[in-house]
Structure 1
Amino acid sequence: MFELSQLRCFTTVAMELNFRRAAERLNMTQPPLSRQIQLLEHQLGVALFTRNTRSVTLTAAGRAFLVEAQSLLAHAGQAALTAQRVARGEAGALALGFVASAVYEFLPKVVSDARIGLPGIDIALHEMNTFEQQDALRARRIDLGIVRAPMQHPGIGCECLLREPFVLALPRQHPLASRDDLSVEALHGQPFILYAHSAWQPFNELLTGLFRASGVAPDIVQMLGSTLTILALVDVGMGLTLVPRGASRIRFENVAFRPIDLGPGIRSELYLIWREDNDNPALHTLLHAIRQTARALPA
């Protein structure tokens, strides 16, 4: 089978229709160039040029082969560029897992920034809870995960991306909606909708631990796994809830969001997890971009 170097020799002669000029363009002498063309013709079993002492012309087979040879060389050049871009982390494909609550503010910013700054990297998004992402990462079904709880395992990279306060979501007509000095004590005895332990273990344990430590006992009327569903119940007056500040972007007609002092260390956290043995160069490019996006968000 012919080689790319033979195709380059052929296309150069075909464009110049002169062996001497073609040899000069290729930085080689004429005899080796002639041998390459002869070898190519022998491999193909057809004459590509009609030669005489005065001129060189392409045969019908040569004209047809020229079109294909130029296409092959273009594809080979593009393949080389693609491989080089992938090696530099400028192109490739990644699977990114995320918890549902990340879509309110953080994830859309990540995706938007990546589309502008990393146009060569295709990002496939997969919505999963924290534990599903940890399993998917171990099984290499995702390359990166945005989760609510840290993953402390050998060979797993983990870092906190974002810490944001909780805000109180409550019906607009509720008496607490008009106060600007809210603290956790204000929740004592109030009908409260809590994140379910089965779906949101980090939030459930953080908030129930806060209530115990503060001596506060809200009246837990529901425990659910969806922020959207929880806020929908707040909207119809079923109770109050605490949600990450980013969830205040969700709009319901009858839901108000108010800042509340829950004490030091009570924050909603997002973590980034990845396998340290992942050899995809695009991974490190996206890691850097996600960190930049996180730093640009308000504290």
Structure 2
Amino acid sequence: MFTLDQARNFIVVAEELHFGRAAERLRMTQPPLSRQIQKLERTLGVELLERDNRHVALTPAGAAFLAEARKLVVAAERAPETARRIAAGRTGTLRVGFTAASGFSLLGPLLREIDAVLPDVDVDLQELVTSQQVQALLEGELDLGLVRPLFDAELFESRLLLAEPLCVAVPVDHRLAGLERPVTSADLKDVPLIMHSPTDARYFYDQAVRLVDVEHRNVVQTVSQVLTMVALVAAGHGAALVPESARLLGLPGVRLLPLAGSTSRAVELHAIWNRESANPALHRLLELLPRLRSGATLRADTRSASNDPEMGLDEHDPASLR
């Protein structure tokens, strides 16, 4: 097998097409350089150069080997730095799972943070429900999950990234849209409701029924995604209980109203990861997560929406102006 030194020497000879000038560039004498090239040709079993006393020229095999030798030398020179960058978490790949709702709330700010601080890290995104993310993390198929608090704290490390209230989404011309106080369970008694699926969106379902006395006869649709719920509200099919970040969807014809009894931490979004993960890029990212924990970026992104009569919270309610 030939060596990197032989490849480097051949590249210089091929560029100069003159052993004397090549030897000078390499700061060596001509005889050992000639022996290096001859040894390389014997190792490869082909002639790389045509040479006589007057000229040196590349053979077709030499021209082909030159192109590959350059790639090999460049790769070899980059390898140590690449290894150091990966070890420091400054390059590599992060496999991030996210729920559909986090896709329009915290995922954007998180990706901007990663891009700003870790520009050479590739992010592989996978949209999965919380239970699927938990399984993927256990099987080593994800590095980080953005999930609802339906995970085993004994198995995973976690950080709270976002906490927000549940709100009531209604069509802009709905009678409740004129209320100057939070909507109560009694206000929703005879209102058609679009509810979260108790199987596919269990977390949101549990939070909703904890705050509102839901009567089965009032439920007109059961869906699993917040986007679908808000779209049905916009179409006039009923009201829905959605997280405050649903305003980011920007669908016209919908008003978000504060819900009585819903605290600022009614629904939560956590980052979780396997305690045993050895991915340096993940550990570098974990240093950034506290920046997002306050949700400041989210509030900045939604400021314009909150002042809009559609897809904004009731500005008369102090909770909507946190």
TM-score by length of 2: 0.75
Which residue is 2:298 aligned to?
Answer: 297
Range with bigger deviation, 127-136 or 143-152: 143-152
- Is contact 1:152–1:158 with CA below 8 Å preserved after alignment? no
Cα gap change, 1:37 to 1:235, in 2 (>3 Å): closer
Q: In structure 2, what residue type is equivalent to 1:270?
A: L
Cα gap change, 1:202 to 1:23, in 2 (>3 Å): same
- Is contact 1:167–1:244 with CA below 8 Å preserved after alignment? yes
- Is contact 1:190–1:218 with CA below 8 Å preserved after alignment? no
Which residue is 1:249 aligned to?
Answer: 248
After superposition, residues 174-189 of structure 1 pair within 5 angstroms as 174-185=174-185, 187=187, 189=189
Which residue is 1:231 aligned to?
Answer: 230
Which residue is 1:125 aligned to?
Answer: 125
Range with bigger deviation, 179-188 or 159-168: 179-188
Deviation, structure 1 residue 154: 4.0
- Is contact 1:180–1:258 with CA below 8 Å preserved after alignment? no
- Is contact 1:150–1:158 with CA below 8 Å preserved after alignment? no
SS in 1 for 2:195: strand
Q: In structure 1, what residue type is equivalent to 2:244?
A: R
Which residue is 1:209 aligned to?
Answer: 210
Deviation, structure 1 residue 101: 0.8
Which residue is 2:215 aligned to?
Answer: 219
**1 CA distance for matches of 2:173 and 2:63?**
81
Range with bigger deviation, 123-132 or 199-208: 199-208
- Is contact 1:206–1:266 with CA below 8 Å preserved after alignment? no
Deviation, structure 1 residue 161: 0.8
Q: For each residue in 1:239-287, what CA deviation from the matched residue of structure 2 results, as whole angstroms up to 9, or x when unmatched?
A: 3222111112334444211233425464221111111222222223444
1:87 aligns with 2:87: yes
Q: In structure 1, what residue type is equivalent to 2:73?
A: L
Which residue is 2:199 aligned to?
Answer: 198
1:278 aligns with 2:269: no
Cα gap change, 1:267 to 1:29, in 2 (>3 Å): farther
After superposition, residues 35-54 of structure 1 pair within 5 angstroms as 35-45=35-45, 46=47, 48=49, 50=51, 52=53
- Is contact 1:146–1:273 with CA below 8 Å preserved after alignment? yes
Cα gap change, 1:254 to 1:265, in 2 (>3 Å): closer
Which residue is 1:164 aligned to?
Answer: 164
TM-score by length of 1: 0.80
Identity among equivalent pairs (%): 37
SS in 2 for 1:96: strand
Cα gap change, 1:118 to 1:190, in 2 (>3 Å): farther
Q: In structure 2, what residue type is equivalent to 1:87?
A: A
Alignment RMSD: 3.2
Which residue is 2:103 aligned to?
Answer: 103
Aligned pairs, how many? 292
Range with bigger deviation, 79-88 or 225-234: 79-88
- Is contact 2:99–2:129 with CA below 8 Å preserved after alignment? yes
Cα gap change, 1:15 to 1:287, in 2 (>3 Å): same
**1 CA distance for matches of 2:235 and 2:62?**
78
Q: For each residue in 1:118-149, what CA deviation from the matched residue of structure 2 results, as whole angstroms up to 9, or x when unmatched?
A: 44333222222111111121122222211111
Deviation, structure 1 residue 229: 2.9
SS in 1 for 2:165: strand
**1 CA distance for matches of 2:36 and 2:244?**
70
Cα gap change, 1:30 to 1:153, in 2 (>3 Å): farther
SS in 1 for 2:107: helix
Structure 2 unaligned regions, length at least 5: 300-321
**2 CA distance for matches of 1:168 and 1:266?**
16
Which residue is 1:214 aligned to?
Answer: none
**2 CA distance for matches of 1:139 and 1:185?**
42
Deviation, structure 1 residue 156: 1.9
SS in 2 for 1:184: coil
Deviation, structure 1 residue 205: 2.1
